[in-house]
Amino acid sequence: MRETTSTLDVDGDTGTRDRVRALVVQRGPVGASTLAEILDLTPAAVRRHLAALVQAGEIAERAVISAGPRGRGRPAREYVATPAAQHHLPNTSAALAADALRHLADVLGPEAVAEFAQARVATLEATYRPVVEAAGDDLHDRARALAQLFSESGYAASTRELGTALQLCQGHCPVQQVAEQFPQLCEAETGLISRLLGVHVQRLATIASGGHACTTHIPTISVRPPSVRATQQPQPSQKEAAE
């Protein structure tokens, strides 16, 4: 049964708004019609919640850029989360963690923070790698498996195909408040993604630096599966062969 704007009570409004916010965090940029379909609501009801979240500064609205001519009617809009929306999602002991890293940097220097960041992702890599490897050699499958792992760890992750590349989008950052002060955490995580997927990746944006999501560009052209790269040996030159 679809929700109408006249039948919601206060508690229902709050719960639905929380779901709308969470979906914008995970799927943004996303349109009202897509959200309505996922939530089984009317587009008008979803737009009411979106308008309230925009007014609260928790999401931002922007026009959809279309390659072709636009017809009549309401201009197409899509929505992304702002950093303010992150505070409605789980984020435990952020202040304590930031204090601990600050003390570590003061006592041992900034390189100690980088070492900590690498140690943290090494633990994640040991857990994630068997699952990513089990997905096979196809880069798309590996990226989807990694996104699922990140989501299970609280990152609200998804993948998108963009021509000859993929994007790994993380709509939530459980360590946002710490990463805002210590970007070494983001740098170490980018290295983790690259190693697990077996390709050079590029971070386009992070929530810690003000983006609506942590977005990683993954090239898919001329990519050899990790198992092929691991087993393929360089061929000797003609001179070396003659010798």
Check residue 6 and give its pLDDT: 35
Check residue 74 and give its pLDDT: 60
Check residue 75 and give its pLDDT: 63
Instruction: Tell me the pLDDT tens digit for each residue of 129-141.
Output: 999 999 999 999 9
Matching CATH number, 94-229, of 3.30.1380, 3.40.1350, 1.10.10, 1.10.3470: 3.30.1380
Write the secondary structure of 37-103 as one string of H (helix), E (strand) and C (coil).
HHHCECHHHHHHHHHHHHHCCCEEEEECCCCCCCCCCCCCEEEEECHHHHCCCCCCCHHHHHHHHHH
Over 80: is that where the pLDDT of 88 sits? no
What residue segments make up the domains of the chain, in order of their start? 10-86, 94-229
pTM of the model: 0.61
Instruction: Tell me the pLDDT tens digit for each residue of 164-202.
Output: 899 999 999 988 989 999 999 999 999 999 999 999 999
> Which fold is adopted by the domain 10-86?
Arc Repressor Mutant, subunit A (1.10.10)
